Amino acid sequence: MNQSDIYKIIFNRNQNALMNAIDGLTQSHSLLQLPGDSNCMNWILGHIAVYRDGLLMDAGLDEHMLKDEVEIYGSGSDSIDVGSTCVEFDRLVELIELSYGTLDHWLSSDPDSFDNKVDKDVKYRKGYAAYWDTIDEHISQMIAHESMHVGELSALRELALVSKI
């Protein structure tokens, strides 16, 4: 199995877990908060979309997010709750599906660009874009980061299912 196949398997696992966690939920569900200092599903989905878009940018692929969408969900962004500025749930799902489709198609082509240096001269940063030295380093960090956030969705789904929304 080559490196591209390994990355595909991990992204596919994350995508399936993510889509299962959001199945049947709505914008209102996506804004529910657990107690404490965690974030809602809307923020997590937007955050994953930002980091995927950054990887697409570094790989020289089509990006899907608008700059104003990126600013809401980047590293260090404010928490989101009812009344906060946020992207609609359906748009976030669309971004997640688009970014996954682009990544999956690229990885299926068995790219030989994993050792390519990342262009550090970017207009603005998205996620880890222009942070790591190579595409391989970016993907490796991205997988760990995304997997952590996908794992957070399970408890938020349970909260949504027991809510009266």
Q: What integer pLDDT is reported at residue 135 of this predicted model?
A: 85
Q: What domain range is 158 assigned to?
A: 3-162
Q: Supply φ then ψ for residue 120, to 5 degrees.
A: -85, -10
Contact 75, 48 (CB under 8 A): no
Write out the DSSP string of 106-119. Answer: HHHT--S-TTPBPP
**From CA 2, how far away is CA 110, in angstroms rounded?**
8
**From CA 67, how far away is CA 146, in angstroms rounded?**
20
27 class by beta-carbon count within 10 Å (0-12 exposed, 13-18 middle, 19+ buried): middle
CATH of residue 151: 1.20.120.450
| Total domains, the chain | 1
Q: What integer pLDDT is reported at residue 91 of this predicted model?
A: 99
Instruction: Report residue 154's pLDDT band, with 50, 70 and 90 as the boundaries.
Output: very high
Instruction: Report residue 20's pLDDT band, with 50, 70 and 90 as the boundaries.
Output: very high
Instruction: Report residue 113's pLDDT band, with 50, 70 and 90 as the boundaries.
Output: confident
Q: What integer pLDDT is reported at residue 100 of this predicted model?
A: 98
- Taking only the tens place, the pLDDT of each residue in 33-65 is 999 888 999 999 999 999 999 999 888 889 999
